[in-house]
Amino acid sequence: MLLKNKRIVLTGAAGGMGELLAWELSERGARLILTDLNEQRVVQLAKDMGDKHVGVGADLCAAEGREALLNACQNFGGVDILINAAGMSEFALLENQSPEKLELMTRINLIAPMQLCQSLLPLLSKSSEAAIVNIGSTFGAIGHPGFAAYCATKAGLRGFTQALRRELADTSMKVFYIAPRAVQTDMNSEAVVELNRELGNTMDKPELVVSSMLGLLSSKPGGDYFLGWPEKLFVRVNALIPGVVDSALGKQLSTIKRLAV
């Protein structure tokens, strides 16, 4: 799939990996509808990138926000690709997380992408070369202590993406679940950075992750794709012999609990 002149909706565009992804898509000739809760920043980003892009400030957890984005897409002339990149994480033991934070994380990471796919499917279906890309995490396939809520939302997103891909199997639409491992972004707290350091976990540069994502979108059929080794292996082991991963993570539990909120 060539990305040049594709009309692409990108959520979470105003910061971190989302902004880097926006610039790379622009460099490849895509026409972008950038959306983020930070209206001032996302509108300015679209202006900085050129007049063929538009920025939409919207709370995608709210019906009004999704309606505003849908209207912008219609005014843009349609949509070819939806990339759900907005996300939220918190490194904390479940007993220490607030009910409000659990609900917000679920809405941002799972419910909003589901509802946005539902809202934009009629427009996407009009494109002869359409795709949906849901950005997940290896933690969506490997339940990790200290990230119980985050793991649950990404596992849910993976299940939703698989079901939607099978639901649309009689169409030409490509549906991706792309799951990076740890990435060097501002979403990581100091505790997360220290956790990865002490456990010896690799944190990929966002430029590498963005390049890998766009390579998959450009050249592969829809499917589930996990980025990073040995995390890819752990995903397979966890699916087949979860007890092995239970044991490995159990040996790291004291470190995880010491650093978790």
Span 117-167, pLDDT tens digits? 999 999 999 999 999 999 999 999 999 999 999 999 999 999 999 999 999
Q: How much is the average pLDDT of 92-120?
A: 97
Please say if the pLDDT value at position 261 is more than 90. no
Rounded CA separation 19/37 (Å): 13
Q: Could you count the other beta carbons within 10 Å of the beta carbon of residue 221? A: 10
Among the listed residues 91, 150, 177, 234, the single catalytic one is 150
Rounded CA separation 31/256 (Å): 42
Integer-rounded Cα radius of gyration of the chain: 18
Rounded CA separation 176/132 (Å): 6
Rounded CA separation 99/15 (Å): 26
Span 50-89, pLDDT tens digits? 999 999 999 999 999 999 999 999 999 999 999 999 999 9
pLDDT given at position 185: 87
| Of 170, 79, 103, 181, the residue nearest 140 (C-alpha) | 181
pLDDT given at position 186: 82
pTM: 0.96
The CATH number of domain 7-259 is 3.40.50.720: yes
Please say if the pLDDT value at position 90 is more than 90. yes
Domain boundaries, the chain: 7-259
pLDDT given at position 15: 81
177 classed as catalytic:
no
